[in-house]
Amino acid sequence: MSTQNPVFIPGPTNIPENLRRAVDYPTIDHRSASFVEMLQPILAGVRRVLKSGTAETIIFPSTGTGGWEAAITNTLSPGDKLLAGRYGMFSHRWIDLCQRHKLDVQIVEAEWGRGAPVEDYERILRADTNHEIKAVLACHNETATGVKSDIAGVRRALDAAGHPALLLVDGVSSIASMDFRMDEWSVDIAITGSQKGFMLPAGLAIVCLSPKAVAAMETASCPRCFFDFRDMLKTNASGGFPYTPPVNLLRGLQVAIGMLEEEGLENVFARHNRIAEGVRRAVAAWGLSLCAKEPGLYSDTVSTVVVPDGMDGTKVVTHAAEKYGVAFGVGLGELAGKVFRIGHLGSMTDVMALSGIATAEMVMADLGFPITLGSGVAAAQDYYRSSTNGADEKPVLRAVQ
């Protein structure tokens, strides 16, 4: 596969040249003043991206899955009861991880294509008068289905029930690409990774904790060592790390935060919305539909496209890779073969998105899909031409200074 072509998977995302150069950084002593000077601004920058003034930021050498594990093992004890909706492959995997840690998960099944079942959450929380439920889990953006959940609504459900459970949120494919308001939504733990909106290689699990979550770790008895919040917070306070840190990725994260803030977070979110809307208009022009059941659920980072009956979504992905050197995402779990996914997050522009839309059209035409070549591209072009501010917009990417 040619490395000159952008990828259209929902992570890892395209890496801007700025960040590739930033990660290409000589070895430094991670116990030196140079590392201390690097770490604290990074932790503060992550808080700003999550719109929090009070959260503690912890960064592990890991991925989002490690962030899931850190969140539950540091705040819960074996046998504790959790409430979680299962509405896609990643909400399913987080539930599975919790069950392997001997946690008692009350699962609310929801249709794949719907978001977090807020009304069911509130009903169950109101009935839990003894407050046996210790935490509520939600995926802000379900990467398998292209569905955005209402995290503010989940918080309202907790508050309406007067329930003290922790709110743990997977923001892996939303944070740094879609608006995330940790303080306003009273999220207790937010989890993301380096390889999505931060546009870096995989390797960092980024976890932010509310004061309530920090307090919960003192009574939690799930085993943890590598992912122990206490060790990390203690050493981070003086600018250190409890073990060897991934210095090069941290250096990249520092530069990524600067790029996001130079563009302006609201502009970043608007760019993702605009690019996603162009993709959605292309899908409609093809006569196809999204897995997300209604516009209010549409993700701005990934569009999960339902293929026509008798067609195979997996073949779209394999054919795109083999013939055109372009990567799309396959369907996962119960959506395997029924969909293909177009990732449009991180380092992405209108022009890049158009190349992905054009490639998807060629692939579907090759495979005999009932589409018209050029229809989706034209629909996206019309939208991008009318919605882009042109010269008034700040550049998405700049050369390294």
Does the pLDDT at position 306 exceed 90? Answer: yes
> Using one digit for the tens of pLDDT, what is the confidence trace for 150-172?
999 999 999 999 999 999 999 99
In a domain, 273, yes or no: yes
> Using one digit for the tens of pLDDT, what is the confidence trace for 58-72?
999 999 999 999 999
Q: Which of 219, 236, 261 delimits the end of a domain?
A: 261
Q: What's the mean per-residue pLDDT of the chain?
A: 95
Residue 307: DSSP 8-state: P
Amino acid at 92: H
Q: Which of 232, 261, 290 delimits the end of a domain?
A: 261
Same domain, 276 and 373: yes
In a domain, 5, yes or no: no
- Band (281; pLDDT cuts 50, 70, 90): very high
* Pairing assessment for the beta strands 289-290 and 302-306 based on DSSP bridges: antiparallel
Structurally, how many domains does the chain consist of? 2
- Band (4; pLDDT cuts 50, 70, 90): confident
Model pLDDT, residue 71: 98
**Closest CA relative to residue 114, chosen from 87, 91, 90, 89:** 87
CA dist., res. 296 & res. 312, Å (int): 27
Q: Which of 210, 244, 261 delimits the end of a domain?
A: 261
- Domain of 360 in residue numbering reads as 265-392
Same domain, 375 and 252: no
Does the pLDDT at position 310 exceed 90? Answer: yes
Same domain, 276 and 243: no
Model pLDDT, residue 205: 98
Same domain, 219 and 257: yes
Residue 149: DSSP 8-state: -
- Band (399; pLDDT cuts 50, 70, 90): very low
Element containing residue 253 per DSSP (H, E) = helix 247-263
Same domain, 28 and 49: yes
Does the pLDDT at position 356 exceed 60? Answer: yes
In a domain, 400, yes or no: no
Q: What is the mean pLDDT of residues 259-284?
A: 98
Does the pLDDT at position 390 exceed 80? Answer: no
Model pLDDT, residue 86: 97
- Band (389; pLDDT cuts 50, 70, 90): low
Q: What is the mean pLDDT of residues 97-110?
A: 98
Question: What would the DSSP string read from start to end of 329-368?
Answer: EEP-GGGTTTEEEEE--SS--HHHHHHHHHHHHHHHHHTT
Same domain, 38 and 72: yes
Tokens of 102: 């001997």
Same domain, 325 and 210: no
CATH code assigned at 350? 3.90.1150.10
Check whether the bond before 242 is cis (ω within 30° of 0). Answer: no
- Band (50; pLDDT cuts 50, 70, 90): very high
> Using one digit for the tens of pLDDT, what is the confidence trace for 254-264?
999 999 999 99
CATH code assigned at 226? 3.40.640.10
Same domain, 310 and 337: yes
Same domain, 290 and 193: no
> Using one digit for the tens of pLDDT, what is the confidence trace for 170-189?
999 999 999 999 999 999 99
Q: Do 66 and 205 contact (CB within 8 A), yes or no?
A: yes
In a domain, 130, yes or no: yes
Percent of the chain at pLDDT > 70 equals 96
Question: What would the DSSP string read from start to end of 13-29?
Answer: ----HHHHHHHS-----
Q: Do 150 and 118 contact (CB within 8 A), yes or no?
A: yes
Same domain, 53 and 149: yes
Same domain, 314 and 187: no
Does the pLDDT at position 400 exceed 90? Answer: no
Tokens of 250: 């941290």
Which are the contacts of 129, defined by CB distance < 8 A and separation ≥ 6? none
In a domain, 12, yes or no: no
Does the pLDDT at position 252 exceed 70? Answer: yes
CA dist., res. 258 & res. 262, Å (int): 6
Same domain, 252 and 343: no
Model pLDDT, residue 388: 72
CA dist., res. 344 & res. 9, Å (int): 8
Q: Do 339 and 304 contact (CB within 8 A), yes or no?
A: yes
pTM here is 0.94
